[in-house]
Amino acid sequence: MGKLDEILQGMKSVGLSGHIRPDGDCIGSCLGLYNYIKSNYPDIETDLYLQTFAEKFEFLKYSDEVKHEPENKKYDLFILLDSSSIDRLGEFQPMFDSAEKTVCIDHHISNDKFAMENIVVPEASSACEVLYELLDEDKIDYNTAEALYMGIVHDSGAFKYSNTSMKTMTIAGKLMSKGIPFTNIIDNTFYTKTYVQNQILGRALLESVMFFDGKCVFSVVSRKEMDFYNITYKDLDGIVEQLRIIKGVECAIFMYETGELEYKVSMRSNDIVDVSAIATYFGGGGHIRAAGCNMKGTIYDVLNNISEQIELQLG
Ligand code: 5GP
Ligand code: MN
């Protein structure tokens, strides 16, 4: 029996959710757990709440059952995945607040430990990896395995980021043994980009600016550009990663306009800069090598404020 099986004992209703603007790990961990509960505990009334997500994730079983609007429901248990702070819950927070018991399963070093029970493993590659260890291996079916594998792939950059460990690979291997189409999962959800996604990537790279002697790189996508290409934030995945791998770069910053003088900032670093500390300083969070926050001001203000913090670390 896994720890999660123990947590589920006696529960009649369970609500699940992840963070706003859900990414691969968030969707994978939420749908992985949803599948696990649905197939092993059919008598528990289970609902999963997430904001809408990219079509490429819809191959996962039960993605059509995900609820995108909050409901006025009180759950025995509410489990939040891949979320480091309560504000990451967005419009689903009232359901978390009203639940009898709350559990957070996460891997962010910046986690606020805001739930009644917090299972946070900062060394883990992904929320999916943390979740896997709470499940009973024998109760993981094909559909759960697909979702968990996908989440691990996304947060580990297809097993290459520094958060990838022997444990990550062992778990991935065990999930592969369930017969999942692992090549397709990686290609279709991680590498494949639509034509416009490639166009906006190209544009962001073309207009990127290097500073601090080539140690940092910055690029921004405006609302006007997003409107021109008819894209949303879901199409900007991977741009900051492409900036990070520029030779000589230590820290990459990518941002897109979310409103009047408002930007969503993504940061990545290679060896030195703790971007989680910088994101947390500006009210966001994340991991040492990958973090984000929301910032207000002109592009110049935002970049100035962030680069000041980077400079403090670079010395
Ligand atoms: P990304 O740059 O891909 O949006 O996010 C990188 C990492 O930072 C993810 O683990 C994500 O959860 C975290 N992150 C990004 N934006 C925010 C934010 O606004 N607040 C917090 N707490 N974490 C964030
Ligand atoms: Mn994650």
Confidence (pLDDT) at 91: 97
Mean pLDDT (the chain, rounded): 97
Q: Where are the beta strands (DSSP E) in 7-131?
A: 13-17, 45-49, 77-81, 101-106, 117-120
The pLDDT of residue 205 is above 90: yes
What is the average per-residue pLDDT within 59-81?
A: 98
Of all residues in the chain, the percent with pLDDT exceeding 90 is: 100
Which H, E and C letters describe 182-248, residue by residue?
HHHHHHHHHHCCCHHHHHHHHHHHHCCEEECCCCEEEEEECHHHHHHHCCCHHHCCCHHHHHHCCCC
Sign of the C-alpha dihedral computed for residues 50, 56, 57 and 61 taken in this order? positive
CATH of 3-191, one of 3.10.180.10, 3.40.1190.20, 3.40.1710.10, 3.90.1640.10: 3.90.1640.10
Residue pair 14/37 in contact by the 8 Å Cβ criterion: yes
3-state SS assignment for residue 123? coil
The Cα–Cα gap between 25 and 240 comes to 17
- Of 100, 127, 86, the C-alpha closest to 15 is 100
Q: For a pocket test of ligand 1, which of 20, 21, 23 has the largest count of ligand atoms closer than 8 A to its C-beta?
A: 23
Q: Is the beta carbon of 157 within 6 A of some atom in ligand 1?
A: no
Supply 145's token pair: 């395995």
The CATH number assigned to the domain with range 195-314 reads 3.10.310.30
Residue-wise pLDDT for 217-238, tens only, equals: 999 999 999 999 999 999 999 9
Residues in CB range of 149: below 8 A, 6 or more apart: 28, 128, 172, 175, 176, 180, 182, 185
- pLDDT bucket at 157, cuts 50 / 70 / 90: very high
Q: Is the beta carbon of 290 within 6 A of some atom in ligand 1?
A: yes
Residue-wise pLDDT for 240-285, tens only, equals: 999 999 999 999 999 999 999 999 999 999 999 999 999 999 999 9
Q: For a pocket test of ligand 1, which of 105, 287, 295 has the largest count of ligand atoms closer than 8 A to its C-beta?
A: 287
The domain limits of the chain are: 3-191, 195-314
- pTM of the complete model: 0.96
Confidence (pLDDT) at 17: 98
- pLDDT bucket at 315, cuts 50 / 70 / 90: confident
- pLDDT bucket at 81, cuts 50 / 70 / 90: very high
Q: Is the beta carbon of 292 within 6 A of some atom in ligand 1?
A: yes
Looking at the chain, how many residues does it have? Answer: 315
